[in-house]
Amino acid sequence: MTTTTHKALHDLSVTELAAGLQNKQFSAVEAARHFLARAQAHQNLGAYVALNEDATLAQAQAADARLAAGTAGALEGVPIAHKDIFVTRNFPSTAGSRMLAGYQSPFDATVVTKLADAGAVTLGKLNCDEFAMGSSNENSAVAPVGFDAPAPVRNPWDTDRIPGGSSGGSAVAVAARLAPAVTGTDTGGSIRQPASFCGITGIKPTYGRASRYGMIAFASSLDQAGPMARSAEDCALLLSAMCGPDPDRDSTSLDVPAENFSAKLNNSIDGLRIGIPAEFFGDGLAPDVRAAVDAALKEYEKLGAKLVPISLPRTELSIPVYYIIAPAEASSNLSRFDGVKFGHRAKDYTDLVDMYKKTRAEGFGDEVKRRIMIGAYVLSHGYYDAYYLQAQKIRRMIADDFQNAFKNCDVIAGPVAPTVAWKLGDHGNDPLADYLADIFTLPGSLAGLPGMSVPAGFGEGGMPVGLQLIGNYFQEARLLNAAHRLQQATDFHLRRPEGF
């Protein structure tokens, strides 16, 4: 399947696909069939957990009709896929958990609706850590398409390595060209870290920019939807469609109008002040990651940006703060999964309490149980003040650190993770090793700031390395502009894993 540009459809960017569809170089049905075939051909990666060819092709036919009628949206006919944390009418929504096995939502999440309104065609649902809890995508309890049992998602750059999490299936789908763009969610780095590990671009907008309605909740004060694609240009297109107020259905949605994030992509970054936090470049940072990040920062200097040393003194406190607040919110949010109204219910039980216990014991995986127990503990009588309240106070201080830093810089840059993607099973039964991998993404999440990962080179084993860019509130356009200018000067975002 080629176009007049002599590129295969899976080699086209979102921007190129949208243009090709508008110019009638190929149809939305052709594009959908092409990507569905690729999803089937590369099932070994475990990226997709649900496909519905009939629903996808029906959406594509409707997109072709709008293209023919001249009423096309900005993403008309462009195939995308959704992380399995967003509820969807035409595909099961499981959040990677046995607790929701076979659950079919009667409505679509707001983010799914907004992208559909822009014309996007849904290819399927993508694998994720159970209830988005994890940094490796090894915690999914749902069998991927083509599998009979749950299986970890594999990184296409090295299928013996993890893709990152919790949006691992999303990152792999883009990196392996199984979808041109996808949705992800970021609670403590779950868009940025897998984007870094898989060599793609991903952005988490300011908390509240995108509606959380229909996103199966993990930690309500942290969860935020965002796009993942190959380039900043593509992410800008998707983010423009995804954002906007949703006050009737999401009380955390901000009353900030949707924005055209593509408008300022080509602005000059001459004089841009890039803050370099000393705490992001300490002993824990692997030399190969540091080398790639340093090289990317040198490219910025060539483009006229200025590097400014800054400090984020409470960076190391972000791990204990996050792993008190997020589990506390998770223990509250996940109390609704009790076997009464929907989801899994134990078969044999003696009374209501026994049903609750057995249902939750069977339905939740180890990592989810661990976080529920931590959360229940820190919220319990006698410990709330000692742990949860203290964590919230330090969270405010972490946010203040960023505001002090932004007095001296426009954006903040550093590594996304301390290392490249590790081997499957390497962290085994050591959840703390996974938690420590989030050290550089957690501070921005706790502060509710926009952040993104931009491909910046390669490290040990030829694995991708991402550069993290963090902006002040509502500065997504500035971040995307900085990322786009770097991508015009480098080609890391165009490189692909061998065989894909």
Q: Which residues are catalytic?
A: 83, 166, 190
Q: Phi first, then psi: give them for residue 227, nearest 5 degrees.
A: -90, 155
- For 292-321, b/e burial (b = at least 16 CB within 10 A) is bbeebbebbeebebebeebebebbebbbeb
Instruction: Confirm if 63 and 119 have CB atoms less than 8 A apart.
Output: yes
CB contact set of 281 (below 8 Å; sequence gap of 6+) = 290, 414, 415
Q: Give the chain's length.
A: 500
Instruction: Confirm if 156 and 500 have CB atoms less than 8 A apart.
Output: yes
**Cα–Cα distance, 384 to 236 (Å, whole number):** 41
**Cα–Cα distance, 189 to 115 (Å, whole number):** 22
CB contact set of 121 (below 8 Å; sequence gap of 6+) = 28, 31, 32, 56, 59, 60, 63, 77, 78, 79, 80
Do the bridges between strand 79-83 and strand 121-126 make them parallel or antiparallel, or are there none, so unpaired? parallel
Instruction: Confirm if 446 and 433 have CB atoms less than 8 A apart.
Output: no
Can you say whether the dihedral through the CA atoms of 23, 264, 494, 472 is positive or negative?
negative
Place of tokens 């406190």: 317
Half-sphere exposure of 74 (CA within 13 A, CB side): 15
CA 217 to chain centre: 14
Token digits of residue 223: 């969860």
